[in-house]
Structure 1
Amino acid sequence: MAEELGATDGNEQAVNGNDTSPAIAILSQYVKDLSFENPNAPAVYQWQGQPQIDVQFNIGSQKLGDDVYEVGLKIDVVAKHDNGTAFAVDLLYSGLFGLRNIPEEQLQPFLLAEAPRLLFPFARQIVAESVQNGAFPPLMLDPIDFGALYMQQAAQAQAAGGGAQAPEITGQA
């Protein structure tokens, strides 16, 4: 049987050789910015009791070229004690993602929910090692449900009359 011109097979491979199936690839991951501060060393190692730890994060994305997007996961951790700041970690961990044939309505959910989920384990390890290298016990951040946060902030943006998806996600862990 002869194929009809312009027909596609089950893999959505067009007869002319153009692949129209969605494709996602992690091109690269990297530390874009990292800061560890231990402002009260060595006195901090004599303090009694556990510090209060505040974790903030922010997710942003930008298009760098055709089908290439950078997603940045910013994590800020501050450990405060009655005597002052024990330590502070600021990390911007980024990834380059190649996205081809992704429907427009699925682009933002991927960039602001799924991509950060893929980056988080690596960022979490960097935070833990940075804290440990500062002579503190490693800080293992709890997993974050980026999908639920995206849905929550998208609903808030729509309720506020924006109607559009939020360009970035912020939150506390």
Structure 2
Amino acid sequence: MAENDTAEFGEPLANGEDTAPQAGVLSQYVKDFSFENPNSPAIYQAQTPPAIDVQFNIGSGKIADDVFEVVLKIEVRAQAGDQVAFLVDLSYAGLFGLRNIPQDQLDAFLLGEAPRILFPFARRVLADAVRDGGFPPLMLEPIDFGGIYLQQRAQQALAEGQEAGHA
């Protein structure tokens, strides 16, 4: 390495300072969970398959220096005719250790990449709960959280641009 303080990606600087971006999963867990089957056992006699509505929400917060919690909240409502078949509320969370991530890229990781990492595990918890509730397992399709994040940021930038144009 040269005498200056530059280094190749992933190598510490000559002065020993580690400036390479690092991200890692510290822990994953069910933060909150509810399954309701309010019309059992009558719902098992329903002749029509339930219509299923799924809603997602992502939240994040700083827990400590370089440690962030990301919560993927999934709400499912299954309706068979005029009866609720089942309701599921799942908050699946992860603790992420993040070092040397530029501030302008932090939200992209917390709201795009971290939910992508958590989703397969949350999907399994959800599928198992629905199956254990007496229904066929609910297997959600993969979701492009990064794409959704970028789309929301573009819409936000467009809205801010329109507001600035009207000022």
Give secondary structure in 2 for the equivalent of 1:120. helix
The number of equivalent residue pairs is 161
Q: Which digits, 9 at most, give the CA deviation of each residue in 1:80-133, with x for residues without a partner?
A: 011310001000000000000011111111110000000000000000000001
1:124, 1:19 → 2: CA distance?
36
Which residue in the other structure is 1:122 paired with?
Answer: 121
Which residue in the other structure is 1:40 paired with?
Answer: 39
Match runs of 1:103-142 below 5 Å: 103-142=102-141
Structure (1 or 2) with the greater helix fraction: 2
Normalised to the residue count of structure 2, the TM-score between the two structures is 0.91
1:14, 1:148 → 2: CA distance?
34
Which residue in the other structure is 2:30 paired with?
Answer: 31
- Give ranges in structure 1 of 5+ residues lacking alignment: 164-173
Q: List, as ranges, runs of 4+ consecutive aligned residues in structure 1 with deviation greater than 4 Å.
A: none
Normalised to the residue count of structure 1, the TM-score between the two structures is 0.88
Do 2:48 and 2:81's aligned partners in 1 also have CA atoms closer than 8 Å? no
Give secondary structure in 1 for the equivalent of 2:43. helix
Do 2:78 and 2:87's aligned partners in 1 also have CA atoms closer than 8 Å? yes
Which residue in the other structure is 1:57 paired with?
Answer: 56
Alpha-carbon spacing, 1:45–1:113, altered in 2? closer, same or farther (3 Å) = same
Alpha-carbon spacing, 1:162–1:136, altered in 2? closer, same or farther (3 Å) = farther
- Give ranges in structure 2 of 5+ residues lacking alignment: 163-167
Give secondary structure in 2 for the equivalent of 1:13. coil
RMSD (Å) for aligned C-alpha atoms: 1.6
Match runs of 1:83-94 below 5 Å: 83-94=82-93
Which residue in the other structure is 2:6 paired with?
Answer: 8
